[in-house]
């Protein structure tokens, strides 16, 4: 997912140059915490912890989906 967002612009207008930019934009714009894969030598991907209750996981996935749909090519 995150590789397809690199080079684009977040819904809040943030340039997405790396998986780290995507992780920062997700926490700031969608209130979802993820870890950029580069922290583990696995860029340009992101890591998602799913040790949550189902409702929280569904809410986080919905927020990530909404974020991705709002990304533009500008």
Contact status, residue 4 vs residue 67, Cβ threshold 8 Å: no
Question: Considering the chain, what is the average pLDDT of its residues?
Answer: 94
Domain extent, residue 45, equals 2-70
Across the chain, where does the E strand assignment appear?
8-9, 15-16, 35-36, 46-47
The pTM assigned to this predicted structure is 0.91
CA distances from 4 to 7, 17, 32, 52, 68 (A): 8, 11, 18, 26, 10
For the chain, the domain total comes to 1
Tokens 């920062």: give the residue: 24
Report the CATH number at residue 22.
3.90.1150.10
Task: Give mean pLDDT, residues 4-10.
Answer: 96
């Amino acid at each position: 997912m995150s590789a397809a967002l690199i080079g684009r612009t977040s819904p809040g207008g943030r340039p997405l140059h790396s998986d780290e930019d995507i992780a920062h934009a997700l926490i700031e714009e969608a209130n979802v915490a993820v870890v950029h894969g580069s922290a583990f030598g696995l860029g340009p991907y992101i890591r998602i912890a799913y040790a949550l209750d189902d409702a929280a996981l569904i809410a986080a996935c919905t927020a990530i989906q909404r974020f991705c749909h709002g990304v533009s090519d500008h």
